[in-house]
């Protein structure tokens, strides 16, 4: 396993070091952590503290999982209603002089429940998740550390799968999602060496081959012109207007 050392001395851990699951049990939210790469913990002293930091909608919870030498594999959360929080594994010095000093950590990643359908439907450059979005039917969440996430009203049956395949939702919502994501990318809101940004730029190159996006361009007109070309090509490639028209005609015929 490749590792890099931060200039601060903090060891950078891979997010694949552990597998973390959120599950509901008797009305309570349970977090379970499984170590997938035990060797990653060997450089740390047995008394070093292990925790997971969860953040969602400005709510933060630090889940204490014991020490490297004596880990707790599960813990009940105090924060209720977490759906897809950002998660970070943290290993801290327990000493009195450097107490709380991080010895190692992962990048943040988006945590989900142990629903296989959620996992299946979250692949690719855009993720979907059934969630509480009321009164809106869907919401887009863009994080620096993970791929953009479309939350879809959980009251819809198989909401995440439906959002990926329903012709009306795809035709009317996905162009808006692409516009919002690329508007932030083009304005330089996120570094172009972030993994998900690089993947979105690669995707854009398949839609507009050889046309370089105006990254960080101050001229708003050039950004808007590129966005319109991107959206027109995207919609034409997948015939989104045609699919929407077919879907409305089918409903009228029923």
Tens-place pLDDT, residues 204-218:
999 999 899 998 777
Nearest to 210 by CA among 240, 192, 233: 233
Whether the predicted pLDDT of 125 surpasses 50: yes
| Edge-to-edge strands, sheet with 18-25 | 18-25, 28-35, 74-76
> Which stretch of 18-27, 95-104, 224-233 has the lowest confidence by average pLDDT?
95-104
Percent of the chain with pLDDT over 90: 41
Q: What is the Cα–Cα distance from 30 to 23, expressed in whole angstroms?
A: 5
Q: At what angle do helices 220-237 and 195-207 cross, to 10 degrees?
A: 70
Question: What does the chain come to in residues?
Answer: 254
- 204 Cβ partners below 8 Å, 6+ apart? 182, 213, 230
Residues 16-36, mean pLDDT to the nearest whole number: 84
Q: How many CB atoms lie within 10 A of CB 69?
A: 12
Whether the predicted pLDDT of 3 surpasses 50: no
Q: What's the pLDDT at 116?
A: 40
Helical (H) or strand (E) element with 167: helix 167-186
Whether the predicted pLDDT of 123 surpasses 90: no
Domains of the chain: 4-110 (2.60.40), 123-253 (no CATH)
Asked if residues 24 and 113 have their Cβ atoms less than 8 Å apart, the reply is yes
Q: What is the pTM of this model?
A: 0.60
């Amino acid at each position: 396993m490749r590792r890099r050392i931060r200039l601060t001395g903090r060891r950078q851990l891979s997010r694949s070091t552990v597998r973390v699951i959120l599950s509901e049990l008797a009305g309570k939210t349970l977090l379970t952590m499984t170590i997938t790469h035990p060797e990653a913990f060997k450089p740390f002293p047995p008394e070093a503290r292990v925790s997971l930091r969860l953040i969602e909608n400005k709510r933060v919870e630090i889940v204490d999982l014991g020490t490297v030498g004596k880990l707790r594999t599960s813990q009940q959360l105090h924060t209720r209603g977490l759906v897809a929080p950002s998660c970070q594994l943290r290993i801290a010095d327990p000493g009195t002089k450097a107490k709380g000093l991080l010895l190692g950590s992962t990048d943040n990643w988006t945590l989900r429940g142990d629903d296989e359908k959620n996992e299946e439907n979250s692949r690719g450059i855009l993720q979907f998740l059934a969630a509480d979005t009321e009164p809106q039917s869907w919401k887009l969440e863009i994080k620096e550390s993970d791929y953009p996430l479309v939350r879809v009203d959980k009251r819809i049956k198989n909401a995440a799968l439906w959002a990926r395949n329903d012709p009306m939702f795809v035709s009317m919502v996905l162009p808006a999602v692409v516009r919002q994501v690329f508007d932030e990318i083009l304005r330089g809101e996120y570094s172009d060496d972030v993994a998900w940004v690089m993947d979105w730029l690669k995707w854009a190159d398949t839609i507009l081959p050889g046309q370089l996006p105006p990254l960080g361009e101050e001229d708003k007109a050039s950004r808007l012109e590129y966005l319109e070309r991107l959206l027109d090509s995207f919609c034409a490639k997948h015939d989104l207007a045609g699919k929407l028209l077919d879907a409305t005609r089918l409903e009228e015929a029923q």
